[in-house]
């Protein structure tokens, strides 16, 4: 399958494909609605939206948006991965991993130093993420119950970790709602 997959940045022409993937992957339009809001909100720029195509069909989508540690002026070092969506017929075939790798590579090349994600603790560590980002000094926008600590994960994209601002992470307006911060 991997040889038949192409990944590229999503454009405004891909909006309907992105909405379809998000809706099918999550079984409702809820995720698609907030992805549409993220794309529409000005303070989200520069977000990274990637689409995966299998034999010409759009089958996967990943979105990374900027985050900033409270009190820091550094608005380019931290990004948040949310969401990662694959059409159900194409799940569990490695497409999510390919999208994660492509996104992390692009962000690393762009000078991003850290990526955070609130997600499945069994899945994201397979792609280099470490659980309990709070213990590393990166607090989610809203407090999580302690039993969900391992779901708030981080991955450094640089060996120079001393200069990454720490603290409570603020995110784009569309993502900055308590209901998005529950695993």
What confidence tier does 175 reach under pLDDT thresholds 50, 70, 90? confident
Which residues on neighbouring strands pair with residue 29, listed in sequence order? none
Q: Residue 38 has what pLDDT?
A: 80
pLDDT at 146 over 80: yes
Cα–Cα distance measured from residue 49 to residue 99, given in angstroms and rounded to the nearest whole number = 10
**Under 8 Å CB-to-CB from 164, ≥6 apart: which residues?**
77, 78, 113, 114, 156, 158
pLDDT at 140 over 60: yes
Classify domain 2-176 by CATH number: 3.40.630.30
Q: Which residue has the higher pLDDT, 183 or 111?
A: 111
Structure tokens at 10: 């999503």
Q: Residue 56 has what pLDDT?
A: 95
Phi, psi of 94 (to 5 degrees): 95, 0
If you search the block for the tokens 């040889």, which residue do you land on?
3
Q: Residue 92 has what pLDDT?
A: 96
Q: Residue 41 has what pLDDT?
A: 67
If you search the block for the tokens 């409702």, which residue do you land on?
28
* Nearest one of 170, 173, 178 to 69, comparing CA atoms: 170
Structure tokens at 146: 């302690």
pLDDT at 44 over 80: no
The average confidence (pLDDT) of the chain is 92
> Could you say which DSSP state residue 107 is in?
H
Q: With beta carbons less than 8 A apart as the criterion, state whether 25 and 88 touch.
A: yes
Q: Which residue has the higher pLDDT, 117 or 1?
A: 117
Q: Residue 180 has what pLDDT?
A: 77
Q: Residue 167 has what pLDDT?
A: 97
CA angle 37, 39, 44 (to 5 degrees): 100
pLDDT at 183 over 60: no
**How far is CA 4 from its chain centroid?**
23
Instruction: Using the CB atoms, write b or e for 13-32: b if 16+ within 10 Å.
Output: ebeebbbebbbbbeeeeebb
Q: Residue 85 has what pLDDT?
A: 97
Q: With beta carbons less than 8 A apart as the criterion, state whether 50 and 9 touch.
A: yes
Q: pTM of the prediction?
A: 0.94
Q: Residue 69 has what pLDDT?
A: 96
């Amino acid at each position: 399958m991997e040889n038949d997959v192409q990944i590229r940045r999503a454009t405004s022409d891909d909006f309907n494909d992105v909405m379809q993937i998000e809706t099918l992957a999550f079984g409702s339009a809820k995720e698609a609605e907030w992805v549409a809001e993220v794309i529409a909100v000005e303070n989200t720029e520069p977000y990274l939206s990637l689409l995966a195509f299998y034999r010409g069909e759009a089958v996967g989508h990943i979105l990374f948006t900027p985050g900033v540690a409270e009190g820091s002026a550094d608005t380019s070092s931290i990004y948040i991965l949310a969401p990662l969506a694959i059409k159900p017929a194409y799940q569990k075939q490695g497409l999510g991993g390919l999208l994660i790798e492509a996104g992390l590579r692009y962000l690393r090349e762009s000078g991003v130093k850290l990526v955070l994600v609130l997600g499945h603790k069994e899945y994201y560590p397979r792609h280099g993420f470490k659980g309990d980002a709070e213990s590393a000094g990166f607090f989610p926008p809203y407090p999580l119950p302690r039993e969900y600590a391992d779901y708030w994960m981080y991955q450094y994209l640089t060996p120079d970790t001393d200069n990454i601002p720490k603290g409570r992470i603020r995110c784009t307006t569309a993502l900055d709602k308590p209901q998005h911060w529950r695993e």
